[in-house]
Amino acid sequence: MTAATRITVRGDDPYDVVVGTGVLAELPGLLGAGVRTVAVVHPAGLPELSRPVCAALEAAGYEVVSLPVPDGEDAKSVHVAAELWSAFGRYGVTRSDAVVGVGGGATTDLAGFAAATWLRGVQVVQVPTTLLAMVDAAVGGKTGINTPEGKNLVGSFHPPRGVLCDLATLTTVPRQDYVAGLAEIVKGGFIADPTILTLIEDDPAAARTPEGEHTRELIERKIQVKADVVGADLRESGLREILNYGHTLAHAIERVEDYRIRHGEAVAVGLVYAAELSHLDGRVGRDLVDRTRSILESVGLPTSYRREAWPQLRDHMRVDKKARGAVLRFVVLDGVASPARLENPSEELLEAAYQEVAR
335 exposed, middle or buried (CB, 10 Å; 0-12, 13-18, 19+)? Answer: middle
To the question of whether residue 73 is assigned a binding role by annotation, the answer is: yes
Whether residue 131 is annotated as binding a ligand: the answer is: no
Of the candidates 226, 262, 279, 316, the residue annotated as catalytic is 226
151 annotated among ligand-binding-site residues: yes
107 a known binding residue? Answer: yes
Residue 125, phi-psi category: left (phi > 0), alpha (psi -120 to 50), beta (remainder): beta
CA 192 to chain centre: 16
Q: Who contacts 65 (Cβ-Cβ below 8 Å, separation ≥6)?
A: 37, 38, 39, 40, 87, 91, 93
- 130 annotated to a ligand binding site: yes
Asked whether 327 and 344 are in contact (CB, 8 A), the reply is: yes
Residue 11, CA distances (Å) to 4, 143, 157 in order: 22, 17, 13
Choosing from 263, 279, 293, 316, the catalytic residue is 263
**Is-catalytic flag, 247?**
yes
User: Is 202 known to sit in a ligand binding site?
Assistant: no
Query: d(Cα 331, Cα 341) in Å, to the nearest integer?
Result: 5
* Other CB atoms within 10 A of residue 214 CB: 17
| Residue 79 among the catalytic residues | no
CA distances from 196 to 7, 128, 171, 305, 354 (A): 17, 21, 21, 25, 26
Tell whether 171 is in a known binding site: yes
Is 58 annotated as ligand-binding? no
Residue 109 known to bind ligand: yes
**Residue 320, annotated ligand binder?**
no
**Which residues have CB under 8 Å from 225's CB, separation 6+?**
188, 191, 192, 193
Q: Residue 42 annotated as binding?
A: no
Contact call for residues 207 and 200 (beta carbons, < 8 A): yes
Q: Does 184 appear as a known binding residue?
A: yes
Length of the chain as a residue count: 359
- How far apart CA 94 and CA 258 sit, in angstroms, is 36
316 is in an annotated binding site: no
Residues 42, 158, 247, 255: which is the catalytic one?
247
**Per the annotation, does 247 bind a ligand?**
yes
**Residue 76 marked as a ligand binder:** yes
* Residue 52: partners with Cβ closer than 8 Å, 6 or more residues away: 24
Among residues 208, 251, 293, 316, the one annotated as catalytic is: 251
Q: For residue 104, count CB atoms less than 10 angstroms from its CB and return exposed for 0-12, middle for 13-18, buried for 19 or more.
A: buried
Task: Give me the catalytic one of 142, 255, 262, 316.
Answer: 142
> Could you confirm whether 184 is annotated as catalytic?
yes
Q: Of residues 161, 187, 240, 293, which has the active-site annotation?
A: 240
Q: Which of 42, 187, 244, 255 is catalytic?
A: 244
Q: Which of 184, 220, 241, 276 is catalytic?
A: 184
- Residue pair 262/161 in contact by the 8 Å Cβ criterion: no
Q: 2 among the known binding-site residues?
A: no
CA–CA gap between residue 154 and residue 129 (Å, rounded): 24
The answer to whether 281 touches 199, Cβ cutoff 8 Å, is no
Q: 240 catalytic, yes or no?
A: yes
Residue 71 in marked binding region: yes
Name the active-site residue from 236, 241, 265, 276.
236
Asked whether residue 75 is marked as a ligand-binding residue, the answer is yes
Binding residues for NAD(+): 71-76, 105-109, 129-130, 142, 151, 169-172
Binding-site residues from annotation: 71-76, 105-109, 129-130, 142, 151, 169-172, 184, 247, 263
Residues in the annotated binding site for Zn(2+): 184, 247, 263
Which positions are annotated as active-site residues?
120, 142, 184, 226, 236, 240, 244, 247, 251, 263
